[in-house]
Amino acid sequence: MDKITVSIITIGDELLIGQTIDTNSAWMAQQLNAMGIWVHRRAAIGDIREDILATLAAEAALSDVVLMTGGLGPTADDITKPTLCEYFHTRLVQDRDTLQRVLHMFESRGLPILQRNVDQALVPEAATVIQNHRGTAPGMWFEKDGKIYVSMPGVPHEMKGIMESFVLPRLETHFNTPAVVHHTLITSGMGESFVAERLVDFEAKLPPHIKLAYLPSYSLLKLRLTAQGKDKVSTATELSLYFTELKERLQDIYVTDQDVSIGEVLGQVLLKRKKTMGAAESCTGGLIGSWITAVSGSSAYYKGGAITYSNDMKMKMLGVKKETLAAHGAVSEATVKEMLTGALDLLEVDYAIAVSGIMGPTGGTDEKPVGTVWMAVGSREKMVTVKYQLRYDRERNTQMAAVYAMNELRKLILELEPEELN
Amino acid sequence: MDKITVSIITIGDELLIGQTIDTNSAWMAQQLNAMGIWVHRRAAIGDIREDILATLAAEAALSDVVLMTGGLGPTADDITKPTLCEYFHTRLVQDRDTLQRVLHMFESRGLPILQRNVDQALVPEAATVIQNHRGTAPGMWFEKDGKIYVSMPGVPHEMKGIMESFVLPRLETHFNTPAVVHHTLITSGMGESFVAERLVDFEAKLPPHIKLAYLPSYSLLKLRLTAQGKDKVSTATELSLYFTELKERLQDIYVTDQDVSIGEVLGQVLLKRKKTMGAAESCTGGLIGSWITAVSGSSAYYKGGAITYSNDMKMKMLGVKKETLAAHGAVSEATVKEMLTGALDLLEVDYAIAVSGIMGPTGGTDEKPVGTVWMAVGSREKMVTVKYQLRYDRERNTQMAAVYAMNELRKLILELEPEELN
């Protein structure tokens, strides 16, 4: 059958004036892609009746499914439900299940219930109501002229609950979905255009239903191969042949063949070797620790960290010498070496990371401009130090310093304890 | 004059399959709003010629300005430039300035230059070329039938450079922009619908050109008042009257009247009192430290932190007693109290935060289910402990624990060292 297409419409002024970043659409697209449904358009509009009506009609003309998020909150700026009634020629009625759920939710929290909370149980009569177990506003499923429309609250975890419990399974049974298979390879240490140059003939021989995409992300480059086909098994088999070739061609810059964060990659390397790590963070301020512990189960290999933002703490917690700081400064090879040794001792780990830098916008000097970062990674046996000169804003410099440092440790561990060959 | 309207079009499959979250649109909207230009639509489409052509035409019919990002990279999946030539009935020509800039960039980094890098200097003849000082792909400004179109690379810091150096100033001179003034108030400790209930009569008396929006974000609730008018001074004056009333009505739950992060709010409270802080983080894994140090100048009040993920580190770095851990567990009031005392001593600060919890998805028990978090905040004089039961996924639980803990400390400092009255 033909490609099943989805338009996502996000409703709400907060997405247009830039106070909220839309993370819902990315999550929805990932889930839909995994079952062979293609998000080909996304539109963001404000809480304006005419815009909602016009966009619903325009997207339904182009797509099989229209998924809407937002505009269902209890406050006065939400006009989505009355507008849906107008679009579907229906009226608002009270949904008993929703009302009971909302009443129960407020009772169990000991909160008084307001009229506007009761009104959350009003739904368009034409809708199939989807219970929201994580909040008050229910989801709504509509069918009209062969198209499917779903309206969901914009709060991410509420939307996710409604998608997982109802919308995704229902779409799967409604459509005879094609197979779409993605396979992602992450590389490090070579720019996008150089990798592309190496893959010119590889790309040229890809059949039309297999696509290669480049997705740069900080110091890492993601390469994603996507195949579409009739069934999952044969499509995956075909894709895996191309993917194996891709992996071989990029062996020297290969990081992982999973689409995971650098925290997960490093965690897996440690877990496989039953080794532990910790970090001494100055300029990254705890970001390395927070990325590593974002992975469930990280307590198996991450023991802790010392955030030594001040020089006093570098000396007290890590034993960095006063003379070293005086002679070389906090952002220096000598300092990060002593930070690393101190971290290995303090945290009693097999491997450690130490980072110190000037993230900007202030604090730079002629000798050490903004973006100068020294890092040391290693064990009691071997230590590697690297200096980077980053060129971006404070936030991005910090994130890049964290990614680079974690990747340096990953490379060193692989060198010291190579992967078994099977 | 009429409202100036913008459509933002993001081009690229990566935004549709969910591997990239669009942060550009929010930033662009913020900048445009500040100068009285209104983003009323955003559309995301793939690297498909027909979709680009149709969306350009559709958005230009609805908006005065069409801003495009993405689809300009050096790799093969980018077809934006040839499609722009088709739309504007023009052809690609080589731009000498861009070529020199690209050549220079590669030379200075000691990298060989590839044909696809040279091709970045090809631009549609009808375009005004905007030099990109942060990357290879230039920006392009077009005018056609009274509408403005701008195409920019999708890499955030490159797009930002092009917007700031050229697009924003040029739009400002091109249009006689109206005045738009936003004023944001952040509250804590009361749900959206209760705040709305308290503000029913306030909202009712707002004139049509002043709008109130509710923007919930974790434990905090942002209330934004927006006014549109002819000139900045009179609009701001009018808005400030309503804003003052809003602030008075919400005095008891007021956090700040700036649209800043909790890290900045806490930092300002400390800075004003010349006090220092640090944190003992278990379940937040460094997130509190990274949020505090995300603020430039935070070294004035943040000395450092101890990420004590393992029980060993809680004992070694913070002096938590073995008996306490054995009797009460790591996630307990007794443990966070000892962590706090240990952090005050170790970090030699005036105030500290200690957090320990079970973030999920695993690790919960009947007695302490996933989402249980104990936190202690305080000084040598006074300590406050709070227990939260969070209900979300690992990522959100962690972020909420960090926000709550930082806000608890903020409240305690205000109680111990109240704001001077002028």
Are the Cβ atoms of B197 and A116 closer than 8 angstroms?
A: yes
Share of chain A above pLDDT 90, in %: 66
* Model confidence band, residue B75 (pLDDT cutoffs 50, 70, 90): low
Are the Cβ atoms of A290 and B290 closer than 8 angstroms?
A: yes
Share of chain A above pLDDT 70, in %: 97
Are the Cβ atoms of B302 and A309 closer than 8 angstroms?
A: yes
**Nearest Cβ partner for A286 among B191, B307, B316:** B307
**What secondary structure, in 3-state letters, does A14-26 show?**
HHHCCCCCCCHHH
**Nearest Cβ partner for A312 among B114, B156, B348:** B348
Residues of A in contact with B77 (CB under 8 A): 211-214
Better-predicted residue by pLDDT, B77 or B248: B248
* Model confidence band, residue A190 (pLDDT cutoffs 50, 70, 90): confident
The distance of B261 to chain A (nearest Cα, Å) reads 12
pLDDT, average across residues A205-225: 83
- The predicted pLDDT at position B51 comes to 94
Mean pLDDT of all residues belonging to chain A: 91
Residues of B in contact with A305 (CB under 8 A): 286, 305-307, 309
pLDDT, average across residues A249-262: 89
Reduce the DSSP state of residue B417 to 3 states and report it.
Answer: coil
Best interface-test mutation with B: which of A20, A25, A77, A193 has the largest number of B CBs within 10 A? A193
Q: Please, which contacts does A165-170 make with residues 24 or more away whose CB atoms are closer than 8 Å?
A: A165/A130, A165/A133, A166/A130, A166/A139, A166/A141, A167/A67, A167/A130, A167/A139, A167/A141, A168/A31, A168/A32, A168/A35, A170/A141
Residues of A in contact with B289 (CB under 8 A): 281, 285-286, 289-290, 307, 309
One-letter amino acid of B45: I
| pLDDT (tens digit per residue) in B322-359 | 999 999 999 999 999 999 999 999 999 999 999 999 99
Better-predicted residue by pLDDT, B169 or B221: B169
CB pairs < 8 Å spanning A and B: 309
Whether the predicted pLDDT of A12 surpasses 90? no
Are the Cβ atoms of B18 and A40 closer than 8 angstroms?
A: no
Are the Cβ atoms of B21 and A23 closer than 8 angstroms?
A: yes
Whether the predicted pLDDT of A211 surpasses 90? no
Q: Token pair of B319, please?
A: 């002096």
Distance CA A306, CA A286 (A): 8
| Spatial CA neighbour of A241 closest among A206, A199, A204, A201 | A206
Residues of A in contact with B286 (CB under 8 A): 281, 285-290, 293, 305, 307
Q: What is the four-CA torsion angle of A216, A217, A222, A227, rounded to 10 degrees?
A: -80
Please tell me whether the interface predicted TM-score (ipTM) of this complex is above 0.85: no
The distance of A359 to chain B (nearest Cα, Å) reads 9
Question: Closest-CA residue in chain A for B118?
Answer: A193
Lowest mean pLDDT among A16-20, B72-76, B391-395: B72-76
Are the Cβ atoms of B116 and A33 closer than 8 angstroms?
A: no
Burial degree of A48 (CB within 10 A; 0-12, 13-18, 19+) = middle
Residues of B in contact with A44 (CB under 8 A): 25, 41-43
- The predicted pLDDT at position A77 comes to 60
Contact call for residues A360 and A397 (beta carbons, < 8 A):
yes
Lowest mean pLDDT among B29-43, B213-227, B290-304: B213-227
* Model confidence band, residue B221 (pLDDT cutoffs 50, 70, 90): confident
Distance CA B203, CA A293 (A): 44
* Model confidence band, residue B193 (pLDDT cutoffs 50, 70, 90): confident
| pLDDT (tens digit per residue) in B256-304 | 998 888 999 999 999 999 999 999 999 999 999 999 999 999 999 999 9
Please give the domain boundaries of chain B with CATH numbers for all domains.
4-174 (3.40.980.10), 179-256 (3.30.70.2860), 263-416 (3.90.950.20)
Are the Cβ atoms of B213 and A13 closer than 8 angstroms?
A: yes
| Spatial CA neighbour of A281 closest among A216, A238, A343, A371 | A343
**Nearest Cβ partner for A196 among B43, B116, B203:** B116
Per DSSP bridges, beta strands B220-229 and B210-217 are antiparallel
List, as one string, the DSSP characters of B102-140.
Answer: HHHHHHHTT----HHHHGGGEEETTSEEE--TTSSSPEE
**Nearest Cβ partner for B196 among A75, A308, A393:** A75
**Nearest Cβ partner for A76 among B31, B77, B196:** B196
The distance of A279 to chain B (nearest Cα, Å) reads 9
Which of A134-138, A354-358, A395-399, B24-28 ranks highest by mean pLDDT? Answer: A354-358
